[in-house]
Structure 1
Amino acid sequence: MKIYLIGFMGAGKSYWGKQLADHWQAPYYDLDDVIVAEEEMAISDIFATKGEDYFREKESMLLRELSRQGRFLISCGGGTPCFQDNMDFMNDHGTTVWINPPLEAMVDRLKRKKYKRPLIQDLEDEDLYDFVEKKLAERRPFYEQSRVIISSDNISLDTFTEKIDHA
């Protein structure tokens, strides 16, 4: 089992990643956390000091490194599928799952943790919806290449695992 969870920030990738890895007793990695540990600095600091290009190269390298394992579950950053041919790589090496809850649900979650996210930390709450809508539209062509798409915010662990098992 090699599963990549993808989706926009606030979609629930980290939450479901932990749930599913626990359920399947599989090694779990939050790709952003792996990058933070490797770089010994917050993602916002990596973006600020080394730039997004550096971050995306590091992200792609670590994604490929982690994928060498026999089984795993990886929660990817929201932009991971959109750079460095990562989406093709993930589809070639495992099962991609796009977690796609309603836009409003993601925006509500993001309002509570803006400070942790470099792309939105300086946005006013009233500008967040438009930003997420625009950015999601840019990333949608990559996300839509997923093998499994979860478009409900009210899904149980059983339903989630069933969809993946039948992919």
Structure 2
Amino acid sequence: MSSGKTTLGKKLARSLGYRFKDLDKLIEQDQNTDIPSIFAEKGEAYFRDVESRLLKSIPVNGSIVLASGGGTPCFFDNMEFIKKLGISIFLDVPAHSLAKRIENHGKDDRPILSGAQSLAETLQNKIDERRPYYAQADFSLHGELDVTHLLEKLKPLL
């Protein structure tokens, strides 16, 4: 959440001449509502089913940069499918930085964080819980990220 997937993903797609897709936006279009409403009205299990179905509708080797939700790799066989799609990248941003970004965003649109006492602590717990899935990514990028740095790392694989 707020790691920069969409921002970096759009820039990377432009640099590569690929299309950019945001899985959360695809879910909202498919369900004709926003993600907080899906969680509130139908629950996380329903959301994860839709998320997995739409992820698996993306063509393998389709010249697409995909920004997935932070939980996407952690359910079903999604991480396995993500790796089939192409190069997978984990944007490893410290929890305190994510908390600042979310607080600066000023919108309560993160159902997973709803009611959190300490945002940074909740985020750290979520990262720790999900790290075994994130660790399966082909690349982990740490700290402040930019497309030039990312392209350098990916160059041997492109």
Q: Could you state the TM-score of these two structures normalised by the residue count of structure 1?
A: 0.87
The within-5 A match list for 1:32-111 is: 32-68=24-60, 70-111=62-103
Name 2:146's counterpart in structure 1.
156
| Bigger RCO of structures 1 and 2 (CA < 8 A, at least 6 apart) | 1
- C-alpha displacement at 1:68, in angstroms? 4.2
Matched, 1:18 2:19: no
Structure 1 runs, 4 residues or longer, greater than 4 Å off: none
Query: Which deviates more, 87-96 or 39-48?
Result: 87-96
Q: Paired residues, what number?
A: 156
Structure 1 unpaired stretches of 5+ = 1-8
Deviation track 1:70-117 (CA, whole Å, cap 9, x = no partner) reads 210100000000001101111123110000122221111011235121
2:94 and 2:116 map into 1 onto residues whose CA distance is 20
Query: Which deviates more, 97-106 or 80-89?
Result: 97-106
Q: Could you state the TM-score of these two structures normalised by the residue count of structure 2?
A: 0.92
Counting aligned pairs with the same residue, the percent is: 34
Letter of the aligned partner of 1:134 in structure 2?
Answer: N
Matched, 1:129 2:120: yes
Contact 2:90 2:137 in 1 (8 A): yes
2:16 and 2:25 map into 1 onto residues whose CA distance is 21
1:150 and 1:166 map into 2 onto residues whose CA distance is 16
Letter of the aligned partner of 2:111 in structure 1?
Answer: P
- C-alpha displacement at 1:164, in angstroms? 2.0
Name 2:156's counterpart in structure 1.
166
